[in-house]
Amino acid sequence: MIVLHHVGWHFVHPSDFEVLRPNGREDWLFLLFQSPAQVCLNAAWQPVQAGSGIIYPPGMPQHYRAWQVTFRNDWIHFFPDSGFPSLLERLGLPVGVPFLCPDPREISSSLRQISEESQLSSPLTEELLDLEIRRLFLKLSQSLQWTPSLPDQPYLGAFQKLRSEIYNAPYQNWRVSQLSERLNLSPSYFQHLYHTLFSTSVGADIIASRLSYARYLLESASFSVGYIASQCGYENPEHFMRQFKKYMGVTPTQYRKQHGNQA
């Protein structure tokens, strides 16, 4: 059985944040970078973009830091059973090196589920956590091994980078014409490829990125709804509130009462 040690979801740190564990830890660590960062491997710093992950085995030095912006991350420390290394090998998951998660939202959602599950106290909690952690790594493997059967495969890396930018900067006024121009594609072909690669439209992804960040701010801070709207790319707070209720089923104020930090 995989035993959860610690888990954190959407932790926020200042731009000078740095972790240095020269001797690593006794447990395993999976870290999901929600903001650009730097990781030190073999005495050399290398940049990692938001949406990247790294799996640290026990005893491996852990040295990473924020890179120019506020540092946000999800993470999980755990003690696996003896078969876990072979599971990672079977799933084709890299250990000790950063890798880009094609769908970081889904992985972050899994970590949130583990975090919420860990707060429950029931006879089945440990078994449920074991299943959720295994599911996390299965989803990681599935997303990494998925390869669209397209003649347009060379565009995949550029589209993944562009999608990460959209989710890292929900306040930007993203326009299809500008995004397609960056890849030297027509707007119609750009939208066709985007939907083929990610099974969603670029417009839907822009909305999803904004609402995801809005939920985070509503849950963790006491900013006004108008301020949150502006930070999520909405010039009109009323438009933000209408769109939030349309997709979330409740108003931003109702969502905060249900999910926000009551401290």
Instruction: Give the per-residue pLDDT at 10.
Output: 87
* pLDDT over 70 percentage in the chain: 95
Q: For residue 130, name the pLDDT band (cuts at 50, 70, 90).
A: very high
Sign of CA dihedral 30, 31, 32, 36: negative
pLDDT in tens, 104-114: 888 998 999 99
> Is pLDDT above 60 for 152?
no
> Is pLDDT above 50 for 263?
no
User: Which DSSP letter does residue 42 get?
Assistant: T
Report the run of H or E that residue 53 belongs to, with start and end.
strand 52-56
CA dihedral 223→262→170→46, nearest 10 degrees, is: 110
Residue 154, classified by CB atoms within 10 Å of its CB into exposed (0-12), middle (13-18) or buried (19+), is: exposed
Instruction: Give the per-residue pLDDT at 143.
Output: 77
pLDDT in tens, 174-231: 999 999 999 999 999 999 888 888 778 999 989 988 998 898 889 877 889 999 999 9
Look at residue 245 and give its three-state secondary structure.
Answer: helix
| Among 231, 263, 103, residue whose Cα is nearest residue 252 | 231
Phi-psi region of 236 (alpha: psi -120 to 50; beta: other; left: phi over 0): beta
CATH class of the domain defined by 3-145: mainly beta
CATH class of the domain defined by 153-259: mainly alpha
> Is pLDDT above 80 for 245?
yes
Distance between alpha carbon 169 and the CA centroid of its chain, in Å?
13
Instruction: Give the per-residue pLDDT at 262.
Output: 44
Task: Please report where in the chains the tokens 């799933």 appear, as a residue.
Answer: 91
Written as six digits, the tokens of 174 are: 């993203």
- Model's pTM, two decimal places? 0.58
Per-chain mean pLDDT for the chain? 88
Domains 3-145 and 153-259 share a fold: no
Domain boundaries, the chain: 3-145, 153-259
* pLDDT over 90 percentage in the chain: 55
User: Which DSSP letter does residue 155 get?
Assistant: G
Q: How far apart (Å, rounded) are the C-alpha atoms in residues 170 and 20?
A: 31
Distance between alpha carbon 170 and the CA centroid of its chain, in Å?
14
> Is pLDDT above 90 for 150?
no
Query: Are the C-beta atoms of 135 and 107 separated by less than 8 Å?
Result: no
DSSP class per residue in 104-137: HHHHHHHHHHHHHHHT--STTHHHHHHHHHHHHH
Instruction: Give the per-residue pLDDT at 149.
Output: 52
pLDDT in tens, 40-61: 998 899 998 888 999 999 999 9
Instruction: Give the per-residue pLDDT at 258.
Output: 84
Find all residues with CB under 8 Å of 58, minimum gap 6, and list them.
Answer: 24, 25, 26, 27, 28
> Is pLDDT above 90 for 103?
no
> Is pLDDT above 50 for 123?
yes
pLDDT in tens, 11-38: 988 989 999 999 999 999 999 999 989 9
